Amino acid sequence: MVNRWVHIAAGFVGFFVAPVALAVRKGGPAHRRWGKVFFGAMVVAGSTALAGAQHIQSLFLLLTAVFSLYMAAFGYRSVFLKHLAWDARVARADWLVAATGLAVFAGTVAYGLRVGHVPVVVFGSIGAFTALRQLRGYARAGHWTKNQWLLNHISGFMASYIAAVSAFSVTSLRFIPFPYNFLWPTALGVPVIAWWQWRVRRQRVATAPAPGLFASPAPALHK
């Protein structure tokens, strides 16, 4: 019971904090502070969902928790990988997390296809695609564009927020029929991600490009 309420509280915090981080000046103290609060909320929400997985009746809700946790970690970690624009050294932990994510999400897609669950397939596919691009990006470390870390940051945090909104929609907006209650946040959120990334890509950089992680399709969050 305690785990459930902690999970709900963390999800509630993340749901309302993310727009605050988007609204304040990017790269400023408020943006950093609220971004860390959002990341912490997603870590707690995802961890408590895993801890209480036996009580989650919806596979999709469990998947959104895992997806949100992975994407939040991806977005947060990207802030510390700016050096990969000129340095080819990638930490073993980064390789391991991306490879684990690919395996988990690929398995999720296979299961979703087998049972015919469209939302599971959609979120699993996005997760698998992101992890695969992440691995390809690490393989080209040292040749990233100057702002590649920012594209990854945008992708991770916004995708994490989309998953949180999806979970809120499923549990609270019961007047929206299946599968639209699962998918409308993705349909609205992906164009926003693409728009922010388009703005970042307009900036000319001198270094050679590397593959994006969510490269075409989550705020220009300058750190």
SS (H, E, C) the chain: CHHHHHHHHHHHHHHHHHHHHHHCCCCCHHHHHHHHHHHHHHHHHHHHHHHCHHHCCCHHHHHHHHHHHHHHHHHHHHCCCHHHHCCCCCCHHHHHHHHHHHHHHHHHHHHHHHHCCHHHHHHHHHHHHHHHHHHHHHHCCCCCCCCHHHHHHHHHHHHHHHHHHHHHHHHHCCCCCCCHHHHHHHHHHHHHHHHHHHHHHCCCCCCCCCCCCCCCCCCCCCC
Residue 221 lies in a domain: no
Residue 152 lies in a domain: yes
Q: Per-residue pLDDT averaged across 62-82, rounded?
A: 88
Residue 3 lies in a domain: no
Q: Per-residue pLDDT averaged across 107-130, rounded?
A: 90
Q: Per-residue pLDDT averaged across 125-141, rounded?
A: 93
Average pLDDT in the chain: 83
Q: Per-residue pLDDT averaged across 151-157, rounded?
A: 90
Residue 5 lies in a domain: no
Residue 128 lies in a domain: yes
Residue 184 lies in a domain: yes
pLDDT at 204: 54
**Which residues form the domain of 162?**
58-201
Give the pTM: 0.80
pLDDT at residue 214 tops 90:
no
pLDDT at residue 220 tops 70:
no
- Segment among 21-35, 151-165, 184-198 with least mean pLDDT: 21-35
Count of the separate structural domains present in the chain: 1
